[in-house]
Chain A
């Protein structure tokens, strides 16, 4: 157990280390001089360029620059935005809760809509309902998020005037459309998995036994089948958090929501390198941390893996 734990944490640190090198390199991979990229077509003087180079610490050897970058990052100092001179870590911390609220709501929506539809399709296997649900799920999977979002806005905001088309808060009304847009492709996958898993379980011997015992169909489905059919679905959805955080970029931009996805987009547009570096580093760190903790918790709960 301890061995595994050490190994797992060590590899995670290694991954984070690699990410930090990549992120650090970004500023040196920009074609031409990064100061020019930052200053753009402003009226630049030699002094201004020199000043900025000094400010970015570009005059030191690479390893010194990297060491300084890593040291600061470990202390939570991700530098200062070139665009608005605010600390990068503060900007990210300000935007993070909004992205999490969006991703979580999308996850909940995906799970509830997807499981309900999948369950329905499995129970009505082979009927028109089954075909309809599967058809819908193919559309849900195939329609790009930005198109789906526009359709939802057109219907719910422009025509029905039920929900705002731009939203920032975390109330139900504010979150509904963005979460639906982000969650629908997930829901489509969930529906398909739920259906397959349910069909699989329904043919298991213990279900036949339960039925043979004369249990009511509702009880068989809800108590015996559903619980087991949910396992692969929940696993899948849980691990989709990363996808949802990434997909938030488009949805946040579309609904003009606060969030780290939009922060990344805006920073890229305005060539705010410290901010881009910070967002990438923090997002990567979140992925790595979530995955590491999941693996560790998993091992803790499952003695079989411990033995391997």
Chain B
């Protein structure tokens, strides 16, 4: 008997040894950076701080990098906007304002842009902001170090040539093609400006040691746990549309990485986080009703949640069948299901908050199952064997939807229900993204789920221009010269009104040809504690932390 005791004890001893050998032993404790206490309170009109105002935010996904030029995803954009500034800034109403650049001048062709820079800006590492930083940041994005990123696709797609440093405070950014949207894109987080010294110093590790000019400085990043940033006390170059001047109103922001929605909600309830991003809708509504929280929602601009319909594969090569699909679906109910009372139905290929939204194209279809049935019968699809599914010449009205259920689980059954009621036989094939993508490349699909957040309608070109059929993203396979011309011109025409007209034409061609089944506008939502004041969204739906304060 005694030997079994030894056996057990030896295991425990070994584990202890392993633990001790594990270098450092104890896991990283949640440290509060000492610097936070130093953040001077006298710089603002804020009341004299007794203890530092710490804003804690629960975010669902850990960023992959904090290098804005290397980022691809939403969380990277959200973090970057607090650490960095861009050349320009966009107000929530879409108007352009100075940021790091105090003035700007495009050439006639909108291919060269001259920026006059502010002279009083310093990076978090103490180095001065000059035109050299613009060149270094853009060249860094175009370098081998960045494989693929939001910024890279902006610069690359418009044939970035170089940035010329005219003098310390004048830079000219040159493209080989006309890029009328550059001034707006230059205000986005993807093209924000990094410290050249830091880029040089950290090299491949820059994504974990970001240095910008933004209202908050990077402090620390504990993998899978949190990212801490603190107020930049020297910040005096906030955008003119902000509600205050000078440094940010909170001393420190802690982004807690909480992938589980239930965990975020509990942490919010216990007060461990003051803002919870993407809470479960039903619980969020219940909490807001009880007065314990406010829900902040934002209908994202860009492409709403749609299903792209393959226009070259039977049976949806018939326009009547496509129209019938759209008419068979009740968008109101669908949005309610996906987001409860926070949902907004979508009726067009771009959402209402997008620049260039065309109302007329959005009024072509509304839920009408009778009309859907009529169109299908007109097209020859009749239920001959009364099994509820329509047939024509021995073929069933079958549509194929290869999809990753992670994207569509909140609504796909209801959607399939509508289509089945109309007499469609929906083959929903559940698979992971890679397998689904291969099915798309092989042409084995009728429906493709898509959404794309962007303040302007430029993604339409990727999704509908015929140059992008055969795997480039134009999954409808629809070819139309007028549509191609409108999309190409919309991307390059320097006259804003002409561009607006181009996109209106594109929207109307897409909807008249029933190329997409619009479903709902993708919402971003946040739960905020009653102590949070001044919560607003930027143009793309990111919380604007610079103006937020925490009541004590």
One of B260, B437, B462 near A253 (C-beta < 8 A): B260
Query: Which secondary structure dominates where chain A touches chain B?
Result: helix
Q: Please tell me if the beta carbons of A37 and B433 are within 8 angstroms of each other in the complex.
A: yes
Interface residues of A in 26-75 (CB under 8 A from B): 30-34, 36-43, 48, 51
B432 at the binding interface (Cβ < 8 Å): yes
Q: Please tell me if the beta carbons of B272 and A234 are within 8 angstroms of each other in the complex.
A: no
Q: Considering the complex, give the chain A residue whose CB is closest to the CB of B223.
A: A94
* Across-interface contacts of A33 in B (CB, < 8 A): 434, 438
Q: Please tell me if the beta carbons of B432 and A37 are within 8 angstroms of each other in the complex.
A: yes
In the bound complex, CA of A266 to CA of B75 (Å): 15
* Across-interface contacts of B473 in A (CB, < 8 A): 43
* Across-interface contacts of A203 in B (CB, < 8 A): none
- Type the 1/0 row for A84-98, where 1 means its CB is closer than 8 Å to any CB of B: 111000010111111
In the bound complex, CA of A31 to CA of B8 (Å): 43
* Across-interface contacts of B204 in A (CB, < 8 A): 85
Q: Please tell me if the beta carbons of A153 and B8 are within 8 angstroms of each other in the complex.
A: no
Q: Please tell me if the beta carbons of A266 and B437 are within 8 angstroms of each other in the complex.
A: no
In the bound complex, CA of A278 to CA of B10 (Å): 27
Size category of the binding interface on chain B: 35 or more
Q: Please tell me if the beta carbons of B434 and A37 are within 8 angstroms of each other in the complex.
A: yes
In the bound complex, CA of A290 to CA of B14 (Å): 7
Q: Please tell me if the beta carbons of A237 and B266 are within 8 angstroms of each other in the complex.
A: no
B291 at the binding interface (Cβ < 8 Å): no
Q: Please tell me if the beta carbons of B3 and A91 are within 8 angstroms of each other in the complex.
A: no
Q: Please tell me if the beta carbons of A170 and B26 are within 8 angstroms of each other in the complex.
A: yes
Q: Please tell me if the beta carbons of A100 and B10 are within 8 angstroms of each other in the complex.
A: no
- Type the 1/0 row for B187-222, where 1 means its CB is closer than 8 Å to any CB of A: 000000000000000001001100000000000001
One of B62, B148, B260, B270 near A157 (C-beta < 8 A): B270
Q: Please tell me if the beta carbons of B29 and A170 are within 8 angstroms of each other in the complex.
A: yes
Q: Please tell me if the beta carbons of B223 and A234 are within 8 angstroms of each other in the complex.
A: no
One of B26, B28, B462 near A43 (C-beta < 8 A): B462
Size category of the binding interface on chain A: 35 or more
* Across-interface contacts of B65 in A (CB, < 8 A): 84-85
B47 at the binding interface (Cβ < 8 Å): no
One of A41, A165, A259 near B270 (C-beta < 8 A): A165
Q: Please tell me if the beta carbons of A168 and B29 are within 8 angstroms of each other in the complex.
A: yes
Q: Please tell me if the beta carbons of B434 and A158 are within 8 angstroms of each other in the complex.
A: no
Interface residues of A in 136-178 (CB under 8 A from B): 150, 153, 157-158, 161, 164-166, 168-171, 174
One of B9, B14, B438 near A36 (C-beta < 8 A): B438
Q: With A93-B23, A166-B263, A170-B27 known to touch, is A104 a contact of B8 (CB < 8 Å)? A: no
Q: Considering the complex, give the chain B residue whose CB is closest to the CB of A37.
A: B434
B22 at the binding interface (Cβ < 8 Å): yes
* Across-interface contacts of B267 in A (CB, < 8 A): 165-166, 256
* Across-interface contacts of A228 in B (CB, < 8 A): 1
B5 at the binding interface (Cβ < 8 Å): yes
- Type the 1/0 row for B462-485, where 1 means its CB is closer than 8 Å to any CB of A: 100000000011000000000000
B225 at the binding interface (Cβ < 8 Å): yes
A241 at the binding interface (Cβ < 8 Å): yes
Q: Considering the complex, give the chain B residue whose CB is closest to the CB of A304.
A: B3
- Type the 1/0 row for A280-308, where 1 means its CB is closer than 8 Å to any CB of B: 00000010001001100110011011000
Q: Please tell me if the beta carbons of B29 and A171 are within 8 angstroms of each other in the complex.
A: yes
- Type the 1/0 row for A211-255, where 1 means its CB is closer than 8 Å to any CB of B: 000000000000000001011101111110100000000000111
Interface residues of B in 441-473 (CB under 8 A from A): 462, 472-473
Q: How far is the CB of A78 from chain B (nearest CB, A)?
A: 16
Q: Please tell me if the beta carbons of B9 and A238 are within 8 angstroms of each other in the complex.
A: yes
In the bound complex, CA of A281 to CA of B343 (Å): 44
B393 at the binding interface (Cβ < 8 Å): no
Q: Please tell me if the beta carbons of B28 and A253 are within 8 angstroms of each other in the complex.
A: no
One of B6, B12, B62, B435 near A301 (C-beta < 8 A): B6
Q: How far is the CB of B2 from chain A (nearest CB, A)?
A: 7
Q: Considering the complex, give the chain A residue whose CB is closest to the CB of B56.
A: A166
Q: How far is the CB of B64 from chain A (nearest CB, A)?
A: 4
Q: How far is the CB of A259 from chain B (nearest CB, A)?
A: 8
* Across-interface contacts of A158 in B (CB, < 8 A): 266, 269-270
User: Which interface residue of B22, B24, B153 has the most chain A CB atoms within 10 A?
Assistant: B22
Q: Please tell me if the beta carbons of A258 and B224 are within 8 angstroms of each other in the complex.
A: yes
Interface residues of B in 253-282 (CB under 8 A from A): 256-260, 262-263, 266-267, 269-270, 272-273
In the bound complex, CA of A16 to CA of B26 (Å): 28
B552 at the binding interface (Cβ < 8 Å): no
Q: Please tell me if the beta carbons of B7 and A150 are within 8 angstroms of each other in the complex.
A: no
Q: Please tell me if the beta carbons of A234 and B224 are within 8 angstroms of each other in the complex.
A: no
One of B10, B30, B266 near A153 (C-beta < 8 A): B266
Q: Please tell me if the beta carbons of B256 and A96 are within 8 angstroms of each other in the complex.
A: no
One of A153, A297, A301 near B14 (C-beta < 8 A): A297
Q: Please tell me if the beta carbons of A97 and B26 are within 8 angstroms of each other in the complex.
A: yes
A119 at the binding interface (Cβ < 8 Å): no
One of B6, B9, B27, B435 near A97 (C-beta < 8 A): B27
User: Which interface residue of B1, B18, B266, B438 has the most chain A CB atoms within 10 A?
Assistant: B266
Q: How far is the CB of B152 from chain A (nearest CB, A)?
A: 11
Q: List 6 A-B contacts (CB under 8 A).
A: A30-B434, A31-B432, A39-B437, A166-B267, A174-B30, A297-B7
Closest 3 A/B residue pairs (Cβ): A37-B434, A238-B11, A98-B27
